Amino acid sequence: MKESAFIDTYLRVDEDGDFVVKSSPCPFLASDNTCTIYDERPSDCARFPYTDEDVLIKRQALTLKNSEFCPITYYVLEKLIQ
Ligand code: SF4
């Protein structure tokens, strides 16, 4: 599939200007909760929740948002506050 077709089919631009999937749950999530494109998944999927990157500090609004549903992000923030 060409990149432009992939973008048209699966992605939209969110309020922060980032590409995100159009539907939730992700269209690549299988019924057994595995990723059907795991070996070629987007870098954001591979890097999430960014706990070993400066993204955790530099994009604080994103980190706070992620902490609402991602337990490890919440835990890391709790430890940083301590
Ligand atoms: S790893 Fe990314 S592409 Fe794969 S199912 Fe999860 S959100 Fe979708």
The number of C-alpha atoms within 13 Å of 72 and in the hemisphere containing its C-beta is 6
State whether 31 and 5 are in the same domain: yes
CB distance 28 to ligand 1 below 6 Å: yes
State whether 3 and 31 are in the same domain: yes
* Token duo for residue 24: 């939730």
Residue ranges of E strands in the chain: 11-13, 19-21
Note the pLDDT of residue 39.
96
State whether 14 and 38 are in the same domain: yes
Probe residue for ligand 1, chosen from 37, 39, 48 as the CB with the greatest number of ligand atoms within 8 Å? 37
pLDDT at 1 over 90: no
Range of the domain at 77: 48-82
- Please, which pLDDT band fits residue 70 given cuts at 50, 70 and 90? very high
* Token duo for residue 82: 């301590």
Note the pLDDT of residue 71.
96
State whether 34 and 54 are in the same domain: no
The number of C-alpha atoms within 13 Å of 20 and in the hemisphere containing its C-beta is 10
State whether 40 and 1 are in the same domain: yes
State whether 38 and 74 are in the same domain: no
State whether 54 and 36 are in the same domain: no
Residue range 9-60, pLDDT digits in tens: 999 999 889 899 999 999 999 999 999 999 999 898 999 999 888 888 898 9
CA-proximal residue: ligand 1, atom 7 (nearest):
26
Domain count, the chain: 2
Note the pLDDT of residue 76.
93
Residue 21 and residue 19: Cα distance in Å, rounded?
7
